[in-house]
Amino acid sequence: MSKLSPSHRNSVVVGALLRSRYYEYLVESVLGQGTFGTVAKCRRIADRKTVAIKMLKKQDKQAKAEMAVLFKLKCLDSDKCNLVRWHRSFFSNDHICLEFEHLDKSLYDFLKGRNGQPLHIKEIRPIVQQLANALDHLKTARIIHADLKLENIMLVNHAQEPFRVKVIDFGLASDVSAAKLGSYLQSRAYRSPEIFLGLPFTEAIDMWSLGIIAATLYLGFFPFPCSSNYDMMKYIVEAIGQPPNTMLTLGSQTGLYFQQDHDPTNSTWKLKAPEQFWRECGIQSQETRALKLCTLYDIMHIRAIDGETMFDRGAESCDMLDFVDLLIRMLHLEAAKRITPRQVLKHQFTSMCNMTWMYHLSSYVQSSSELLNPTTDNRKAVCGSLQQPSSTTTHPIQQNLPSASAERSQYSGNRMQASTGVSTPLAQAHRSNTDTSSSYSLKRKRDDSDSRDQRKRVKTDQAPPTSSSKALTVASSSSYSLKRKRDDSDSRDQRKRVKTDPAPPTSSSKALTDEPDKRSVPAESRAPSGRKRKSPDVEYVGRQRGDNRN
């Protein structure tokens, strides 16, 4: 940031008092100075609370625009949205003063205090997650931050809440509908291709800045350091590729970096050579890169994977692939195809959904899970994906499971309950798909075991049979067997008689069989009227006598 004029700088003096209508503030130190104002660390005298006050020129239009954005964001929960909390505003010494909560330090100062030592990939994850959460809420409010960088990302309290961050400085923020074509926004190292080319832009420019921030935290330096806009565009083309012709044709600033080859069939663009750019613009191209990236996948070969176990090395390798994949999606040249903040929250790198099965096997996964879930003293989650409205289905990262030893004892058949309440948040994601089936199978096993025990008790509780009951049982079974044999013998004899034309039935049997069927005899088979039909007995006797005579 450029420095303020001497008159403006001298207006903020350590030990001076700032007065509002209701409060007085004692200036303790100057935290930062920028183009549009100065930020001072102050103590509110009434309650001795430390706050940060940003002082802007009263007549500055940018100050009024920032206040309009802050009023629009006032309804949001700053802790859940990972945005700085704005308390109030007042006028003092011909300045607009904005009172904010006091935060720890910026990521820029944090890296500077580490002597440029980059962060580990598992330390970058919670930062990316929380920043994506902040951008998601800004996108919902249709606000473009337009100045996302390391200096504007603050650690809340790194000693007590490691890597919990918030976004500050809405001096360049604006509504999406108010975005003006050709505006030069963002710091150069974080600037998106559509701003360089003079294209219409949306909140997707903030996602490009987030990709640059993530790469910088891992490398320890900017992936595209530059001393001019041409160098920046040159590095982007070499590492990611040239923007498509549709973007270059529509860009109002494309001619500064590219020249058009007029082909009879097709019109293409080509990046200008450094010598040509120097002849046309008088700016000498300078090589300032600490690492020349031919592709973003080259980032994978910067550090060696040094896991203690096979599972740690495998988990870290998988994590590295997911991290590079997320970078490629964040740094997509076309804004319409660039990943959105909500998609970042669901990405494999941010959610760790592809490593949940290794939770009990890898200390790398366990430590990564602990960093992913920072909480405040009142147990309020602050990470982006943990701020969604609660429902009956809890997010896998939030649920608690038994410890590893308790889980092993459960699967080995040991019924001893786990006495430790160790939280294994990430392991729940691995078991979320099998919780229902596992609980059902365990319940079914218990029910089957109870049924078997009950049957055993019933058998053992029955009194042994006496000799009389045994004899009665044998006798009844014997009589049943004899009766069944007689019935079977009668059935066989009856079938034999039917087959061999058995003897004519007796009169008594005829009476039993023929008499009930008289009414069912057809009319044509009956005797004619006036003629008496012979009885069956008489007819049978006559036929029998005739047989005897023959």
Binding residues are 54
Asked, colleague to colleague, whether 6-101 and 105-351 share their fold, the answer is: no
Given CATH 3.30.200.20, say whether it is the number of domain 6-101: yes
**By the 8 A CB rule, do 202 and 144 touch?**
yes
CATH for 105-351 is 1.10.510.10
For the chain, what are the domain ranges? Answer: 6-101, 105-351, 399-439
- Quick one: pLDDT at residue 179? 85
The answer to whether 319 is a known catalytic residue is: no
- Quick one: pLDDT at residue 120? 95
Binding residues for ATP are 54
Q: Which of 147, 206, 231, 322 is an active site residue?
A: 147
- Quick one: pLDDT at residue 37? 83
- Quick one: pLDDT at residue 495? 64
DSSP string, 56-123: EETT-HHHHHHHHHHHHHTTS-HHHHTBPPEEEEEEETTEEEEEEE---EEHHHHHHHTTTPPPPHHH
Give per-10-residue mean pLDDT for the chain (550 aa).
42 87 94 83 96 88 90 93 96 91 96 91 97 98 96 96 96 90 87 96 97 97 92 96 94 94 77 94 91 94 88 94 98 98 97 91 93 55 38 36 43 40 42 45 54 57 47 46 58 59 49 45 47 46 45
Amino acid making up residue 56: L
Amino acid making up residue 338: R
- Quick one: pLDDT at residue 457? 58
- Quick one: pLDDT at residue 444? 52
**By the 8 A CB rule, do 271 and 237 touch?**
yes
